[in-house]
A and B are shown apart, each in its own frame.
Chain A
Amino acid sequence: MSAVAETMNVTDERLAGLTLPAGGWSDVARKDALSRVQMMGLPSRRDEYWKYTRPDTLTQAVAVPAALFHNDEAALFDDVERLKIVFVDGVFDADASDDLSLEGVSIEHLATVDADIHWARDIYGVLETNGQKPVERPLAALNTAFATDGVLIHVTGAASRPINMIYLHNSETSDVMLHNVIKLDAGASLTVLETGPAAARLNMVTEVEVADTAAFHHIRAQGRDHERRAATHIFARLGTESVFKSFTLTANGVMTRNECVLELTGDDAKATVGGACVGDGDFHHDDTVFITHDAENCESRQVFKKVLRNGATGVFQGKILVKAGAQKTDGYQISQSLLLDGDSQFLAKPELEIYADDVICSHGSTSGAIDETALFYLQSRGISKPVATDLLTLSFLAEAVDEIEDETLREQINERMASWLERRRG
């Protein structure tokens, strides 16, 4: 079978099992997305963009089941003053969720809105479509077509507390597509927390429109179910003097592909996307980032750290595209892995494409083992080798975690990582 035929076969099989939800205002976008998926075909191993990550389990018609993960750990952000929106295997749980009202913010969920006119119509599938150039992201288009639910958030002022989407996974066979749309008006600000695995297989798209001088902060923890799989996309457009900051914590998960596609369209905007991940054994984690600078004096930072052991694989594909005229761009990209043994591997493809002459862009990618000298120094002070290794591991991850601006949230992430490492020491 030819490569094209094979791709179409996978795509047809996948599409055969799905039906377009009736979405009212989103119908047009959904139908458009469906025809785009049919044109593009779902990713295959031969796609350059999927060179390091096998897409098959993300594209095949039926999801591989994933055992549920249980432990006695308190839920992350439990003691943070926040508004909770709970989904169980992709289904909104009104009883477990808080009242969806927050001053300066309108919150709805996708499944309940069937009016013909809605503010989200200008964003739903629009940023996603935008992000299909120059590289195709068929799984995101698939999501736009078939997402069954998600959150629609419109922020007009400064949100008084974070919104926490909690994605629970209670069925071993759940196969879920969620699509969030977040719109921040000029000057508005919001922090979104996302926690949990969501499903055995998750396809998630989040589109974020950050208007001039607005600020969006995002912290995500992907849940610790060992066998879960996820393909996620964030598409964001940044206006003048706006701020976008996203951080993802990943521990466990047999397959994760997190794509982040940012477009800086207004002058003086600042974007940061970062992640810390700890993988052990059957673990494949791919961070794929594409940042387009299309305005002057903008800053973007990519900070990704991965700790890998027992045959875990980490992937980083990060690109900064500086368009002609995007003068005074400051682009920073670092992606590093700490390999705790010889079995694990880290594959990185950092890219810069620059069409403006007055820019500063730096990128670095490294892969290394624990610093033996530092380890001995700590041991010589009485700290046991496992504890010293954990200290050094946390310090390695710190550069990514430090990108989280809010100190309380940052500390919660740090504490959680420390307790995970401590648990495995027994």
Chain B
Amino acid sequence: MLKIENLHVKLEDEEKQILKGVNLEVGAGQVHAIMGPNGSGKSTLSYVLSGREGYEVTDGEAHLGDVDLLDIEPEERAAAGLFLAFQYPVEIPGVGNMTFLRTAVNAQRKARGEEEMSAAEFLKVVRAKAKTLKIDADMLKRPVNVGFSGGEKKRNEILQMAMLEPKMCILDETDSGLDVDAMKLVSEGVNALRSEGRSFLVITHYQRLLDHIKPDVVHIMANGRIIKSGGPELALEVEQNGYADILAEVS
């Protein structure tokens, strides 16, 4: 599904190398988790994959299926099936959540040559999905993320994901800022989307989330590289001992 090879990334305006050769392959239907110390490059990886400006790829490749991700615009990557749930969802005053969602859904459908969703159908689907995420009608009417609490913003990300039905979902610290109940809600939302044709890359600092969303593989990222990969037990090890042992082991 997602294949990243030898990815090197530096900041566009600065001589600062952030990713120093990332290799990662997520198979169809799999859930992979990435853990790692602050500043190790996890968010950068997710941004570079989704096409944010400000970064320069100096080497390496990334493919989603047979689509060369690094060559195309962010919206084309989205239409190809990539979705990033932001670590810090963006507030957009003046743009209604509903307008935003419908524009996004239909833009992607159009890009894929599919028929657009009618207003009535869209409303029905979005209401149903919002309900399972306990997002009330009022939040749907408000401008995108404006005045939403931290947890509400994260639930809104999952709602977008549910509406857009991507193939490859990257969740960047979706668990941070969530209370225990919201964490369950979001995990259920994610688990409901799990299917053979859909993969997840879950970036997190805490084992807790992985209790709900069971990963097939756990990677540890440090200093711009994946330094260790293993099964779910790797997350437990991090939770108990921190990163010191793992960092010592590889250096």
Contacts and interface: CB of A to CB of B under 8 A. Distances in A.
Interface of A: 372-374, 376-385, 387-388, 391-392, 394-396, 398-399
A398 B99 CA distance: 14
A372 B91 CA distance: 12
Interface stretch (B34-42, B60-68, B104-112, B178-186): B104-112
A65 B34 CA distance: 67
A307 to B, nearest CB: 13
A253 to B, nearest CB: 25
A395 B160 contact: no
A382 B117 CA distance: 15
Contact of A392 (B51, B78, B95): B95
Contacts of A374: 90-92
A303 to B, nearest CB: 13
B224 interface: no
Contacts, number: 77
A398 B94 contact: yes
Interface residues of B, number: 31
Nearest to B80: A382
B50 A395 contact: no
A377 B86 contact: yes
B75 A379 contact: yes
A380 B75 CA distance: 5
B51 A379 contact: yes
B13 interface: no
22 contacts: A372-B53, A373-B90, A374-B91, A376-B51, A376-B74, A377-B89, A377-B90, A379-B75, A380-B83, A381-B78, A381-B100, A381-B104, A381-B108, A382-B105, A382-B108, A383-B75, A391-B100, A392-B95, A395-B92, A395-B93, A395-B94, A395-B143
Given A377-B89, A384-B75, 14 more contacts: A373-B90, A376-B53, A376-B74, A377-B86, A379-B73, A379-B78, A380-B75, A381-B108, A382-B108, A387-B103, A388-B75, A391-B103, A392-B94, A398-B94
A383 B92 CA distance: 14
B103 A394 contact: no
A337 to B, nearest CB: 15
Interface in B46-73: 50-53, 73
Contacts of A392: 92, 94-95
A377 B78 CA distance: 11
A385 B78 CA distance: 12
A383 B108 CA distance: 7
A384 B100 CA distance: 12
B124 to A, nearest CB: 20
A383 B95 contact: no
Given A387-B103, A387-B107, A380 B94 contact: no
Contacts of A379: 51, 73-75, 78
A382 B52 contact: no
B78 A382 contact: yes
Interface of B: 50-53, 73-75, 77-79, 83-84, 86, 89-95, 99-100, 103-105, 107-108, 111, 143, 160, 164
B94 A399 contact: yes
> Which residue among A374, A394, A398 has the maximum number of chain B CB atoms within 10 Å of its CB?
A374
Contacts of A372: 53
Contacts of B94: 392, 394-396, 398-399
A394 B96 CA distance: 11
Interface centre among A372, A378, A381, A396 (most CB of B within 10 A): A381
Nearest to A393: B94
Contacts of A396: 94
A378 B111 contact: no
Contact of A382 (B79, B93, B99): B79
Contact of A380 (B84, B95, B103): B84
A123 B79 CA distance: 62
A334 to B, nearest CB: 13
Contacts of B89: 377
Contacts of A399: 94
B92 A378 contact: yes
Contacts of B52: 376, 380
A392 B94 CA distance: 8
A374 B91 CA distance: 7
Q: Interface centre among B51, B74, B83, B108, by most A CB within 10 Å?
A: B74
A179 B29 CA distance: 72
Nearest to A388: B75
Contacts of B75: 379-385, 388
A402 to B, nearest CB: 9
